Structure 1
Amino acid sequence: MPLQSNIARLSHRMLSLPRAKKILLMMAADLLALPLCFLGAMLLRVPDLQIVSQYGWLPYLFTPVATVLVLAACGVYGAVIRFIDIGMLLRTGVVLALVIVASFLVASAYDSTSLPRSGLVIYWFIALSWITASRLSVRAFLRSGTGMTASRPEPVGIYGAGETGARLAQALRAEGRYAPVCFFDDKRELKSRNVAGLKVLRADRIGEIAAQTDMRMIVLALPAVSPARRRELVHAIRREGLAVKTVNSLVELSDDAITSRSIRDVKIEDLLGRAPVPPQRELFAACVRGKGVLVTGAGGSIGSELCRQVMTLAPRALHLLDHSEFALYSIEHELRDRWPHVRLHAHLGSVCDAALVSHILRTGAVDTVYHAAAYKHVPVVEANMAEGIRNNVLGAQVIADAARAHEVQTCVLISTDKAVRPTNIMGATKRVAELIFQAAAETTDADGTTYCMVRLGNVLGSSGSVIPLFRRQIESGGPLTITHPDVIRYFMLIPEAAQLVIQAGAMARGGDLFVLDMGEPVRILDLARSMIEMAGMTEKTADNPGGDMEISFIGLRPGEKLYEELLIGDNTRPSRHPRILCANEYSVHPLLLAKLIERLLVIARSNDPSLIRSAIKAIVTEYSPEPWVGQGGAPTRPAAQPDSAYRRLRSRRPAAAMLFGVAVLQTRRVPPGLRLPANLVSVSH
């Protein structure tokens, strides 16, 4: 006990020294030890002291002093020894190699008897060993004295003996918080092999090893595994009574650093969707690197992630636009903390403010615009039609016009699957926004702005989405509310969605409508049951009245579909990216569209729902406010609308159709011999 007490006092005294004195102590220790290291290296090369002495005293002084000076210049002495890591040791090895090369060149220039190169190589090994051993010894001493090693590292198993698992095991051993016990892997070629100093065992031995080693947690080191396989592993491990954590996914691992901070809890998002595809670098950076970028709706779920992805690609400057002060403050603060050297400009205001948008594009020399600003919550927009139309339609028109006026290179609209055969105002306004961008592309020269649209499904964890709602309901004791037992949705991770949007913009040629491969749709009822299980609870049902959490069905909301679609038709073609498709869908002639939108914005100010729906339907002919529900509540497609002279004319002779439409809107009279669609008649009158 007295010895331990003295060690503690000495370690605390060393820790309380000023930083400058600590550095001087390390440098003094190295100045004493490194000459001896150099002498030892020469004696190993030529085991004769008389021969070794013929090189004179200069090499034994120059090389160690040069080593200390270069180590200091490279910041090695500035590292906190208690938290030394493998990165600092690697940097030390590189620095020592540079010193050895310099020593050999100096010796060759000023001494006819140059130093043996093999002796210098031996010095590199001995000096690096000294620096490593001395630092690790001091670290162990300081940690023992301050109680940092009082708590025993937590034994963990690592599932996945690949490169990620090996790097994770090395990082965990170096940090000391976790003690890797072994690897688990089902690959036959890895059976009974040794990886990173740990044995690889079959997965069916997890329970046995846990009982032998007091292991209570398994870390999944499988960043590229499919969600289906991840679900299987999570359920299998939990059946053994063990906790499960995971390494970040490929999308989240934006760099090569894997540490204990890369370990996190398994989230419901990890068990849905499909395995992500890493971005194609040539597409990912094409519209961002070295360019001025504007993100509208920068404080939203998609907008904020777009900002994060853009910042990783070194833009010349990033402009943020959002009408929510708190959202704008939050994302700006985060970005400035993480990327302090990138020029960042936060603009508070609305995309409907044409003067503000024009000012940003003009003064900011913006090259690329990602238009993510929109009202997206179906019931809210359905109850506030006029404001939804103003923000979603007028905002898209302002962005499209300003991009052309200020010669923006690329302008990307973030759209939604709810724009396909919409049953609600939100989806219909997003389809109008798509038509606006299509019309802008048609009226832009080949060398002008490149417009495109990207259609997303639901993004996991976005504001207002079902997953945060279920989490809050579970925390408050339930019940979990679902509108209908047959509701299904497409889901995608927010980082992957943002990466695909950026890559799609780089592929655009003008007027492109890109549809993202959202994988297989997910039944919301199954999602709710999975979240109950992940919370360690059971569902309360008629067969299990003692369950913990009830699921309640509350009925479809106004304008809600049982299922969403990504395409109006089936006319798609592949793109350069395996997860991005190009869709060919109808457009409206720019002059006719301008007249229809002008009338829509006027009618919207009346706040008359029936007039607004008629005005919307005049533009989006497939807009149908009634949800599509078949017998037994199963989702069905609506019956195809009967074709009309106008629709046939628009498909065959668009110019004539445009003149026809403008004539109707200006004169409110149908030309003889042509039949006007009912939706257009209702607006023109």
Structure 2
Amino acid sequence: MGLSTGFRSTLVFLFDVVAVLVAWAGAFLIRFNFDWPIPVDRAIWVGVLPLVIAQLIACRWAGLYRGMWIFASLPDLKRVLKAVFFSGAVLLLLTVLVRDYVVVPRSIVLLYPLLLLLIMGGGRAAWRMWKEYRMYGDVRGKGKPVVVVGAGTAGAMLVRELGRSAEWQVVALADDDRSKWGLEISGRRVEGGADKLVEIMRHYNARHVILAMPSARAEVLQRITKIASEAGAHLFTVPGLGELMSGRVAINMMRPVKIEDLLGRESVHIDNLNVQAMLTGKRILVTGAGGSIGSELCRQLSRFSPACIVLFESSEFALYMIEQWFMEHRPEIKVLSLAGDVKDKQRLIEVFTSLRPHVVFHAAAYKHVPLMEVGNAWQAVRNNVLGTLNVARCAQRFGTERFVLISTDKAVNPTNVMGATKRLAEMVCEVLHCHSSDDGTRFQMVRFGNVLGSTGSVIPKFQAQIAHGGPVTVTDPEITRYFMSIPEAAQLVLQAAAMGNGGEVFVLDMGEPVKIVDMARNMIRLSGFTEDDIRIEFTGLRPGEKLYEELLADSEETLETPHPKLRIVRSRSVSEGFYSELQEWLTSKDSVSDDVVRDQLKHWIPEYKPMKI
């Protein structure tokens, strides 16, 4: 049973009083070579009471009784130093005031503060060492041997925290900074650089490695991951700097390294004030609200206190899942869950009539390239183009302030039906914006590439294939793609919406393209296997697939924006008569064959070059 706060403070105060007495007497004993009686013993008794009073005042002023001794650390040492400095100053003043009556040797003025610091600071440190031994002494040295890579601040924090863990035993550290080699952190030696990781693991019989480098570049992490994986190590990493600084997580909350860690996507910073001005107190409609991007948009929108978020989704299960998330995590946000299809014009009119949303994020789309290429081309047109037209015209008719279309890099120089239909959807929004009044709906488009972990994306597919023992299927050894995280994409969509004046096509900075085969190899290693265990099989490009994606068409240029990860595209002008021809085609009641769809798309999008199937 623990001591009460008041009783604990009394004990600490009594310790400090004893420290004053011992330091004061000890200073005289040292000065006179431990001879007793001391020639100036009168000085001892004269100084006791003033110094005890001064100590009480100094300790209160320094806040010494707020700290817990079991967690005594550098801030506590600073408080002790402040108290000792105050006591030393009082002693100096006392020697001046009583020099005509009592002789206080000058060496005492130096010896007393030093002894007081040693007793007060040392007592607290000794107590912490004793308590930690009582609490953790029996678990130290019994966990799994682990090598920590990174001997910086994060590594030091991690070694200290894992010293209290029964699960882990840090046996050594590795760091590429040569100046740290041979040094120790909490008794654990920095044995060398990451290139010596295999030797270090073998020497200490360790099978686990923890990366304690939350700010390291992606190429550094990839190199160390490759070395550790080839050595058969189980690889973990610590939380990022942002999470650590926010206090949401602790340094010892490790997790296995994920493929996202190796792609080098930096955290996104958005202008929250402008986004808040756009969203706070507004009614917001999100189409495709249960999809990968749509659901993350809804989660991000909830941060800005909207009056209401309307979740519009054709999939009952997806709608249920995002509704449940709000009920569990953000019950204070008003949410309306509406089932509906963007191709259903009457349903949209009903929703817009009753709710009149201020802002619309249109994320509903068919986006799987091979599926839409064969047998579903007309459905891709109806969903991606007619659906966009229906939602956009409702937004214009019912006075929506902003309409934001979620587009794709596959709309650039498209070689597939899906990409061409998304480019056509962009053109629809550009035309509607041109016909909007100055105070009418602002239409904006945002393009980006693949998002990590989205439904139907390559990462969940590779994970499932690895779990089943392989093979991991890659279409082509040279195929590359751009990737960003779903939260990053959603935040940049909000930023683009807030800064746009209407009519712009925004392009997100997707970083460097990634070879899919390299991603497959990394995922195999991170799963604890080698390519001998799980082979990679090349299957050939699927219908409509390109070897690489582009973010700009040949005829497009970009303009800078205030945000470093956003640019504005100067797209080519839309041909006269496009809008009326398109409406007539979309209202066709007969199904249209894949070939006819491709021919018509080529008519409106000259850069569309369909692949031969």
Q: 2:416 aligns with which of 411, 414, 424?
A: 424
CA distance in 1, matches of 2:249, 2:186: 15
How far 1:357 moved relative to its partner?
A: 4.8
Give the residue type in structure 1 aligned to 2:323: E
Q: Is the 8 A contact 1:291 1:366 kept in 2?
A: no
Per the alignment, residue 462 of structure 1 pairs with 454
How far 1:430 moved relative to its partner?
A: 0.6
Q: Is the 8 A contact 2:278 2:498 kept in 1?
A: no
CA distance in 1, matches of 2:541, 2:477: 10
Q: 1:376 aligns with which of 345, 363, 367?
A: 367
Tell me, yes or no, if structure 1 residue 519 matches structure 2 residue 511: yes
Per the alignment, residue 602 of structure 2 pairs with 617
Q: Is the 8 A contact 1:435 1:588 kept in 2?
A: yes
How far 1:156 moved relative to its partner?
A: 2.8
How far 1:508 moved relative to its partner?
A: 1.6
Q: What is the TM-score normalised by the length of structure 2? A: 0.73
The 5-angstrom pairing of residues 161-240 of structure 1 reads 161-173=151-163, 177-188=167-178, 190-191=180-181, 200-203=190-193, 204-211=195-202, 213-240=204-231
Give the residue type in structure 2 aligned to 1:152: K
CA distance in 2, matches of 1:162, 1:360: 55
Give the residue type in structure 1 aligned to 2:587: V
Q: Is the 8 A contact 2:360 2:404 kept in 1?
A: yes
Per the alignment, residue 575 of structure 1 pairs with 561
Q: Deviations along 1:246-300, whole A, 9 cap, x unmatched? A: 234568879443426742222233334x442432444784466635444322222
Per the alignment, residue 498 of structure 2 pairs with 506
Decide whether aligned partners of structure 1 residues 237 and 524 sit closer, same or farther in structure 2, where only a CA change above 3 A counts.
closer
Structure 2: state its 5+ residue gaps.
Answer: 25-44, 80-115
How far 1:553 moved relative to its partner?
A: 4.0
The 5-angstrom pairing of residues 436-515 of structure 1 reads 436-515=428-507
State the SS of the aligned residue for 2:577: helix
Decide whether aligned partners of structure 1 residues 522 and 207 sit closer, same or farther in structure 2, where only a CA change above 3 A counts.
closer
Q: What is the TM-score normalised by the length of structure 1? A: 0.66
How far 1:551 moved relative to its partner?
A: 4.1
Give the residue type in structure 2 aligned to 1:613: R
Per the alignment, residue 379 of structure 2 pairs with 387
Q: 1:269 aligns with which of 249, 260, 268?
A: 260
Give the residue type in structure 2 aligned to 1:226: R
Q: Is the 8 A contact 2:158 2:252 kept in 1?
A: no
How far 1:208 moved relative to its partner?
A: 4.8
How far 1:185 moved relative to its partner?
A: 2.0
State the SS of the aligned residue for 2:588: helix
Q: Is the 8 A contact 1:375 1:426 kept in 2?
A: yes
Q: Which has the higher contact order (CA 8 A, sep 6+)?
A: 2
Decide whether aligned partners of structure 1 residues 208 and 151 sit closer, same or farther in structure 2, where only a CA change above 3 A counts.
closer
Decide whether aligned partners of structure 1 residues 43 and 620 sit closer, same or farther in structure 2, where only a CA change above 3 A counts.
same
Q: Is the 8 A contact 2:229 2:526 kept in 1?
A: no
Per the alignment, residue 104 of structure 1 pairs with none
Q: Which moved more, 1:597-606 or 1:243-252?
A: 243-252
Tell me, yes or no, if structure 1 residue 332 matches structure 2 residue 323: yes
Identical positions, percent: 38
CA distance in 1, matches of 2:130, 2:397: 62
CA distance in 2, matches of 1:454, 1:461: 20
CA distance in 2, matches of 1:530, 1:201: 26
Per the alignment, residue 158 of structure 1 pairs with 148
CA distance in 1, matches of 2:300, 2:141: 39
Q: Which moved more, 1:465-474 or 1:347-356?
A: 347-356
Q: Is the 8 A contact 2:244 2:250 kept in 1?
A: no
Give the residue type in structure 2 aligned to 1:278: V
CA distance in 2, matches of 1:140, 1:503: 53
Q: 2:233 aligns with which of 231, 242, 261?
A: 242
CA distance in 2, matches of 1:284, 1:155: 50
CA distance in 2, matches of 1:330, 1:267: 25
How far 1:438 moved relative to its partner?
A: 1.5
Give the residue type in structure 1 aligned to 2:570: N
Per the alignment, residue 581 of structure 2 pairs with 596
Q: Is the 8 A contact 2:161 2:252 kept in 1?
A: no
CA distance in 2, matches of 1:502, 1:392: 21
Decide whether aligned partners of structure 1 residues 41 and 461 sit closer, same or farther in structure 2, where only a CA change above 3 A counts.
same
The RMSD of aligned alpha carbons is 4.6
Decide whether aligned partners of structure 1 residues 172 and 360 sit closer, same or farther in structure 2, where only a CA change above 3 A counts.
farther
Q: Is the 8 A contact 1:288 1:314 kept in 2?
A: no
Tell me, yes or no, if structure 1 residue 297 matches structure 2 residue 288: yes
Q: How many residues align?
A: 539
How far 1:359 moved relative to its partner?
A: 6.1
Tell me, yes or no, if structure 1 residue 306 matches structure 2 residue 291: no
Q: Deviations along 1:591-639, whole A, 9 cap, x unmatched? A: 83431231221236433334433433343233332359xxxxxxxxxxx
How far 1:507 moved relative to its partner?
A: 2.6
Decide whether aligned partners of structure 1 residues 134 and 517 sit closer, same or farther in structure 2, where only a CA change above 3 A counts.
closer
Q: Is the 8 A contact 2:191 2:200 kept in 1?
A: no
CA distance in 1, matches of 2:490, 2:242: 10
Give the residue type in structure 1 aligned to 2:266: P
Structure 1: state its 5+ residue gaps.
Answer: 1-24, 77-84, 97-121, 540-546, 629-685
CA distance in 1, matches of 2:433, 2:310: 23
How far 1:393 moved relative to its partner?
A: 1.4
State the SS of the aligned residue for 2:324: helix
Q: Is the 8 A contact 2:154 2:251 kept in 1?
A: no
How far 1:335 moved relative to its partner?
A: 4.2
Q: Deviations along 1:145-165, whole A, 9 cap, x unmatched? A: xx9x59933343332234444
Q: Deviations along 1:434-469, whole A, 9 cap, x unmatched? A: 112222322334444332211111223222122222
How far 1:39 moved relative to its partner?
A: 4.9
CA distance in 1, matches of 2:8, 2:526: 56
Decide whether aligned partners of structure 1 residues 323 and 210 sit closer, same or farther in structure 2, where only a CA change above 3 A counts.
same
Per the alignment, residue 544 of structure 2 pairs with 559
Give the residue type in structure 2 aligned to 1:324: S
Give the residue type in structure 2 aligned to 1:581: R
How far 1:233 moved relative to its partner?
A: 0.9
State the SS of the aligned residue for 1:603: coil
How far 1:548 moved relative to its partner?
A: 4.1
Q: Deviations along 1:317-340, whole A, 9 cap, x unmatched? A: 544332212222223333443444
CA distance in 2, matches of 1:363, 1:303: 22
Per the alignment, residue 320 of structure 1 pairs with 311
Give the residue type in structure 1 aligned to 2:456: G
